[in-house]
Amino acid sequence: MIKLLIIEDEKPAAQRLFKLIKQIEPDAELVMHLEAVKDAVKWFNENNMPDLIFMDIELADGSSFNIFKEIKISSPIIFTTAFNQYAIDAFKVNSIDYLLKPIKIDDLEKSLQKFHSLQKNKSNIDYAHLLKNLVNKEYQKRIVVRYADVIKTVEIENIAFFYTEEKYTYLFTFDNQRYPIDFTLDQLDHMIDPKNYFRINRQVIINFKSIEKMIAYSKARVKIILKPLPSFETIVSTERSPYFKDWLIGMSDTIAIDV
């Protein structure tokens, strides 16, 4: 029986991953699902190492690399990632495995087979050094969009926010243009610079520069007034509020908050 730890900031993604794992390894046991760097550090300090860790690279409160600054991890890790080919090659060279999102069961099965194979010949991997090289990746600078028969590119910095509506994903620019795109918000999370963009809830990712005003909406939530103004309310979800405040602290500009 394999004791698994999943570190993934999207609960549905974690649930889907474990469901796929159970199809391949029916006896697998999920010892814990963690969503943030700080939660992972606390858990590792209080618990024994699991047999195997599935770890997303970018978490709600920062890069997984920050975990390795605090904890010496001896368990093998399978990373879930949307990194570019350069990073994928790095994973191969360092003899650890990766899964590209959205995760396919065939790829997952190969990763688990590799895990079992490596267990027979354990080797020490410097995950901290590896991740340090990976987190400095290049983020997407533009997105290709199509409307009617026209194809054009939109610079990422010109996008005020991304959102989903009726199972479709859209970008909205600062000059009030809306375009459908082929990426999900989960994919965009890994493509755009987290210093400039933040996913406030499951439906919306905002550009820091689009924030005009913030209002205390409830004890744990914040309502954001964006410019340009969308046709729907933009409210930071309860689970993302602590990370949203940390994100704001990292920005140099000042924004008014009504309380």
Is 254 found in the same domain as 238? yes
Is 154 found in the same domain as 118? no
- Could you say which of 134, 155, 187 is where a domain stops? 134
Task: Specify which residues 213 forms β-bridges with.
Answer: 225
Written as six digits, the tokens of 216 are 């205390």
What is the extent of the structural domain holding 247? Answer: 142-258
Is 8 found in the same domain as 128? yes
C-alpha span between 206 and 99 (Å, rounded): 27
Is 236 found in the same domain as 181? yes
Task: Specify which residues 72 forms β-bridges with.
Answer: none
- Could you say which of 134, 154, 173 is where a domain stops? 134
How many domains are contained in the chain? 2
- Confidence class of residue 126 from pLDDT cuts 50, 70 and 90? low
Instruction: With a cut of 80, say whether residue 170 has pLDDT above it.
Output: yes
Q: Is the pTM of this model over 0.85?
A: no
Is 165 found in the same domain as 100? no
- Could you say which of 78, 99, 134 is where a domain stops? 134
Average pLDDT in the chain:
84
Instruction: With a cut of 70, say whether residue 134 has pLDDT above it.
Output: no
Higher pLDDT pick, 202 / 126: 202
- Confidence class of residue 259 from pLDDT cuts 50, 70 and 90? very low
Instruction: With a cut of 50, say whether residue 95 has pLDDT above it.
Output: no
CA distances from residue 17 to 37, 62, 103, 248 in whole angstroms, order as listed: 19, 21, 8, 31
Is 126 found in the same domain as 229? no
C-alpha span between 221 and 200 (Å, rounded): 10
Is 175 found in the same domain as 94? no
Inter-axis angle of helices 127-134 and 85-93, nearest 10: 170
Instruction: With a cut of 70, say whether residue 168 has pLDDT above it.
Output: yes
CA distances from residue 108 to 17, 21, 64, 127, 219 in whole angstroms, order as listed: 9, 7, 20, 20, 40
Is 189 found in the same domain as 111? no
Q: What is the CATH number of the domain that holds 104?
A: 3.40.50.2300
Task: Specify which residues 162 forms β-bridges with.
Answer: 171, 205
Is 246 found in the same domain as 156? yes
